[in-house]
Amino acid sequence: MVRAMLEELRPVGREPGVLLTRLNRDLTRILRQTGQMIFVTAAYAVIDLAAGQLRYGQAGHPAPLRWRRPENKIRRIGCTAEQAGPAIGLMHDFEFATCVEAWAPGDRLFLFTDGLSEVASPAGEEFGEARLIAALGRRADEPLEVCLAGVIEEAGIFGHHHFADDVCVVAADCSEG
């Protein structure tokens, strides 16, 4: 259902906030008819290489991480709490924002579900954002596929290979040259 809605929203696909706002309104209207509390988290990014921009919107999803090669630093995308909206399906009239940042060759973007950052050790301690950033940092110079596989493996070892929630990672790498 969401996929079909996204196809209809293709004309506004370059504006993450607009796309998420319209998806939220359409989906909320349908979900309310079920009488059940159903919601969807979402993250949506557009990388415009010609303009050197990353445009991002978020709906109840963990903030993505970004690696800037020149600074060799990994940090969260800079959306404020007001810009990072609730999950889709919870607030019918919420207006999602688009966060815009400069994007340059060498940058990497990591979007992930909370199943990765919230995997717990046998003692109940979460892997967490700090360990995730450290794992990404140790693999920053590896090819993207190798980097992601290593991070997921490290989180799995931390949690004794038991992920209680789904794990999905989507990444983009803007190679230099």
Domain residue limits, the chain:
2-173
Which residues are CB-contacts of 1 (< 8 A; sequence separation ≥ 6)? Answer: 27, 30
Q: Which of 89, 10, 83 is nearest to 46 (CA)?
A: 10
Q: Are the C-beta atoms of residues 127 and 59 closer than 8 Å to each other?
A: no
Alpha helices (runs of H) in the chain, residue ranges in sequence order: 2-8, 16-32, 114-117, 128-138, 144-158
**pLDDT value at position 114?**
93
Q: Are the C-beta atoms of residues 112 and 151 closer than 8 Å to each other?
A: no
Q: In what order do the strands lie in the sheet with 42-48?
A: 42-48, 53-59, 99-102
**pLDDT value at position 153?**
96
Q: How many residues does the chain have?
A: 177
Residue stretches of the chain with pLDDT short of 70: 176-177
Q: Are the C-beta atoms of residues 143 and 132 closer than 8 Å to each other?
A: no
Return the CATH fold of 2-173: Phosphatase 2c; domain 1 (3.60.40)
Q: Are the C-beta atoms of residues 7 and 24 closer than 8 Å to each other?
A: no
**pLDDT value at position 13?**
92
Phi and psi, residue 157, nearest 5°: -60, -45
**Type of residue numbered 96:** F
**pLDDT value at position 38?**
85
Helix (H, G, I), strand (E, B) or coil at 12: helix
**pLDDT value at position 177?**
57
- Report CA 100 to chain centroid distance, whole Å: 15
